[in-house]
């Protein structure tokens, strides 16, 4: 038995948390005696149903509990039944103040009480007063007098896998039913024999609030009066084998932090957004033809509070600080490593236990809304990492949710990930696909996220991903493709396209799978962008070479252009490249300190000037010596070092040049936007290319050695004056300042296939960006 199940088992016989009785209205009789009963006329619960009800195994408690029309001794009225353990007295309190004492009708694991109220009609408003042996009382409403909070259409769409707002129906929702405030609960557990809502409001006793199953949908539902926002709850399930499973809500909007694992009822629709202008322009945006530079962030380690035991910042604390920093740097978006609730901080968020809950380690859901709102009002987009590929084995969450492999596969060859020790979603189930697709829409709809970067897509596409022969099963055609996962990905991308115009979907996909960014209608997977992992690996490998050897590896630097337009790419220099003993980007660069910094500036310039959108991990602007550590803050103290402070100024200039130069981004996805000028000068390790965007263009030269190249000539597309808009060798960011010319005029000397050419002095380990003067 897991820890939380043990805790709840210990409380099975505990007295529920009591509430003060409602003040009773004046009445004619202090107490109405129970109506005399005739055994022949009293409505009875059939023996079989009664046994299951008392044993906590009845799937439709509303059939007998609550208020029902009845005739006793020839008199019409209503019979009210209550199921409650441990009480010594039960009373039914009507709205008019009359109190009916209820008699114990049957006894079992719990007790069944009933009272006949003559001349009463439905609907009937009433409450219960439970009295316990210690004299404590509990005054509460009756969950079993309310109609279902789910409709047939909702259930049909869910079972079909197409409910686009599923989070509004399943889970816990504070609401008012028939004028009574409380919370509705709904959970999918098709293989459970009984499901109960348990929480701090009932002593975590699963006998108190059994739920009803909604037909053949597998969904269980219950409305609980008097439940307030902030209440802790879980679902207790009786499995087919008779075991008890206590689970957090898969749709919980908020969850406890360790060691607690309960879900928390959260108030809804309370936040007032201030990003209307941003959301309006996003709906009409075209990210493919826009500048996109992404600053990747881990919220727990961007900055900390050393004076307070090195604690992390909250959503509201980090929002203005991160916003100011990113805006000053000039990046267009932040991308947050997963903020969905995760029990293990060291997973960085990639082992999610609460898919619908922003991590409460940083604050409440509305606090996260404030974070996004702050970014949007400053003109910064927010992308979220999303993990539909796998989930952890924590027993209080999705694993064997109703006692069976519900969200995962039963067969470990399909259901377990060998690398991460996690479980793989069963994409063949409509309800599982709906859970995930609705989750994607939820983050964009409820939190105004501007897109999702989907983690580990390659692991979803291939049945043999990271598996040896005999450890995987072929698909129905005999192949290695995961057909169900492919259909899920297409469904997800189509739902995002239709429901969230302007929002992006980004694939972290490391193989040569074709059509990742091709529209679904044309046979592709439908992503907006794909991470260019091949470019990243080849480029970092090239830059690790001593410059004297780079002439032999120039193809490694330029190879990515051979497949550049097979997809729409983002170039990532992400967290994955600066962890697990890989070192920081600065430490990967060869040479002495000056050369390392120069190489890093050159690497970033290459990324920002070649085709594709840009992603840079937080802290790169500080050029740290050590790799990223999720348990500490970024090395902000490096700002006190002149060379590292200069690097931050350089990154700021580079990002602004990128945004201000349409030729560097407008035609990223087309050969019209790029042309090599000279890719073959291996002896000098110099590469040059032109970027185009409409009528504008820019010239980029990369000198990849520490040897200056004087009077270096390249062809240019047009005659006239070319202005230097960026040199990575400027003294302002720690360069040598070699021949810091401002502009150069072309001359009619044909070169590199162009009628015009220019002659410049190339600084060492540096990039130049030139644009024609207007």
Q: How far apart are CA 706 and CA 701, in angstroms?
A: 14
Residue 119, exposed/middle/buried by CB under 10 A (0-12, 13-18, 19+)? exposed
Q: How far apart are CA 660 and CA 654, in angstroms?
A: 10
Q: Could you tell me the sign of the dihedral formed by the alpha carbons of 276, 277, 280, 286, in that order?
A: negative
Nearest Cα to Cα of residue 601 among 765, 771, 770: 765
Q: Could you tell me the sign of the dihedral formed by the alpha carbons of 723, 725, 729, 732, in that order?
A: positive
3-class DSSP state for residue 566? helix
3-class DSSP state for residue 458? helix
Q: How far apart are CA 140 and CA 639, in angstroms?
A: 60
Provide DSSP, 601-653. HHHHHHHHHSSSEEEEETTGGG--SS---TTS---GGGGGSHHHHHHHHHHHH
Instruction: Quote the tokens at residue 583.
Output: 């070192």
Answer whether 212's CB lies under 8 Å from 220's CB.
Answer: yes
Provide φ and ψ at 197, rounded to 5°.
Answer: -85, 130
Q: How far apart are CA 418 and CA 450, in angstroms?
A: 32
Helix (H) or strand (E) holding 324: helix 315-329
Residue 419, exposed/middle/buried by CB under 10 A (0-12, 13-18, 19+)? exposed
Instruction: Quote the tokens at residue 570.
Output: 């983002």
Instruction: Quote the tokens at residue 552.
Output: 């032999």
Provide DSSP, 741-768. -SEEE-BS--BTTBSEEEEEEEPTTEEE
Task: Out of 111, 508, 509, 648, pick the active-site residue.
Answer: 508
DSSP category for residue 271:
-
- Tell me, yes or no, if 395 is annotated catalytic: no
Q: How far apart are CA 405 and CA 484, in angstroms?
A: 17
Q: Could you tell me the sign of the dihedral formed by the alpha carbons of 450, 333, 505, 337, in that order?
A: negative
Residue 38, exposed/middle/buried by CB under 10 A (0-12, 13-18, 19+)? exposed
Task: Out of 5, 455, 621, 668, pick the active-site residue.
Answer: 455
- Tell me, yes or no, if 455 is annotated catalytic: yes
What residues are labeled active site?
Answer: 455, 508
């Amino acid at each position: 038995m897991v820890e939380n199940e043990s805790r709840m088992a210990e409380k099975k016989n505990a007295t529920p948390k009591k509430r003060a009785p409602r003040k009773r209205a004046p009445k004619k009789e202090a107490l109405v005696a129970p109506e005399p009963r005739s055994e022949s006329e009293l409505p009875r619960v059939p023996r079989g149903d009664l046994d299951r009800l008392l044993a906590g195994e009845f799937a439709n408690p509303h059939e007998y509990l609550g208020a029902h029309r009845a005739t006793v001794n020839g008199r019409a009225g209503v019979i009210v039944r209550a199921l409650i353990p441990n009480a010594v007295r039960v009373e039914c309190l009507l709205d008019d103040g009359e109190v009916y004492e209820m008699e114990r009708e049957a006894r079992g694991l719990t007790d069944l009480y009933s009272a006949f109220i003559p001349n009463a009609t439905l609907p009937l408003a009433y409450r219960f007063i439970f009295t316990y042996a210690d004299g404590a009382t509990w005054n509460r409403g009756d969950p079993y007098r309310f109609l279902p909070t789910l409709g047939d259409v909702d259930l049909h769409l869910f079972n079909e896998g197409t409910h686009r707002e599923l989070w509004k129906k399943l889970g816990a929702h504070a609401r008012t039913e028939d004028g009574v405030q409380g919370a509705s609960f709904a959970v999918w557990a098709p293989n459970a024999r009984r499901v109960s809502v348990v929480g701090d409001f009932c002593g975590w006793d699963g006998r108190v609030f059994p739920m009803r199953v909604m037909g053949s949908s597998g969904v269980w539902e219950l409305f609980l009066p008097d439940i307030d926002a902030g209440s802790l709850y879980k679902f207790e399930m009786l499995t087919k084998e008779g075991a008890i499973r206590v689970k957090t809500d898969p749709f919980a909007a908020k969850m406890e932090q360790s060691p607690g694992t309960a879900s928390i009822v959260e108030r809804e629709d309370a936040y007032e957004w201030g990003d209307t202008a941003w959301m309006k322009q996003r709906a009409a945006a075209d990210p493919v033809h826009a500048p996109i530079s992404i600053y990747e962030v881990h919220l727990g380690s961007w900055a900390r509070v050393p004076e307070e035991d090195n604690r992390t910042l909250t959503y509201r604390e980090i929002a203005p600080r991160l916003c100011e920093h990113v805006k000053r740097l000039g990046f267009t978006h932040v991308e947050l490593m997963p903020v969905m609730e995760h029990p293990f901080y060291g997973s960085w968020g990639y082992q999610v236990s609460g898919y619908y809950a922003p991590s409460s380690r940083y604050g409440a859901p509305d606090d996260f809304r404030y974070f996004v709102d702050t970014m949007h009002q400053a003109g910064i987009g927010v992308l979220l990492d999303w993990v539909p590929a796998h989930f952890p084995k924590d027993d209080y969450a999705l694993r064997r949710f109703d006692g069976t492999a519900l969200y995962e596969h039963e067969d470990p060859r399909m259901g377990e990930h060998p690398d991460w020790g996690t479980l793989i979603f069963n994409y063949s189930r409509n309800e599982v696909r709906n859970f995930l697709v609705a989750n994607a829409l939820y983050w964009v709809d409820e939190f105004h996220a501007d897109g999702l970067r989907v983690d580990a897509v390659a692991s979803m596409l291939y049945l043999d991903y990271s598996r040896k022969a005999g450890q995987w099963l072929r698909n129905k055609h005999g192949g290695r493709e995961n057909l169900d996962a492919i259909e899920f990905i297409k469904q997800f991308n189509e739902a995002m396209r239709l429901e969230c115009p302007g929002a992006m979907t980004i694939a972290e996909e490391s193989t040569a799978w074709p059509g990742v960014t091709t529209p679904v209608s044309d046979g592709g997977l439908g992503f907006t962008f794909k991470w260019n992992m091949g470019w990243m690996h080849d480029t970092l490998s090239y830059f690790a070479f001593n410059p004297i050897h780079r002439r032999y590896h120039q193809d490694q630097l330029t190879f990515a252009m051979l497949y550049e337009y097979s997809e729409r790419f983002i170039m990532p220099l992400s967290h994955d490249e600066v962890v697990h003993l890989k070192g920081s980007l600065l430490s990967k660069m060869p040479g002495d300190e000056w050369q390392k910094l120069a190489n890093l500036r050159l690497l970033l310039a290459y990324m920002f000037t070649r085709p594709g959108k840009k992603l840079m991990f937080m802290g790169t602007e500080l050029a740290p010596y050590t790799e990223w550590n999720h348990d500490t803050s970024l090395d902000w103290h490096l700002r006190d070092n002149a060379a590292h402070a200069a690097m931050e100024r350089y990154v700021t200039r580079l990002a602004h040049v990128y945004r201000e130069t349409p030729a560097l981004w407008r035609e990223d996805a087309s050969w019209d936007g790029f042309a090599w000028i000279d890719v073959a000068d291996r002896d000098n390790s110099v590469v040059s290319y032109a970027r185009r965007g409409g009528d504008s263009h820019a010239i980029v030269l990369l000198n990849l050695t520490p040897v200056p190249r004087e009077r270096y000539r390249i062809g240019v597309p047009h005659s006239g004056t070319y202005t230097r808009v960026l040199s990575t060798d400027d003294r302002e960011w720690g360069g040598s300042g070699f021949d810091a010319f401002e502009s150069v005029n072309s001359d009619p000397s044909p070169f590199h296939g162009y009628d015009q050419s220019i002659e410049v002095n190339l600084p060492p380990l540096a990039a130049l960006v030139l644009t024609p003067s207007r």
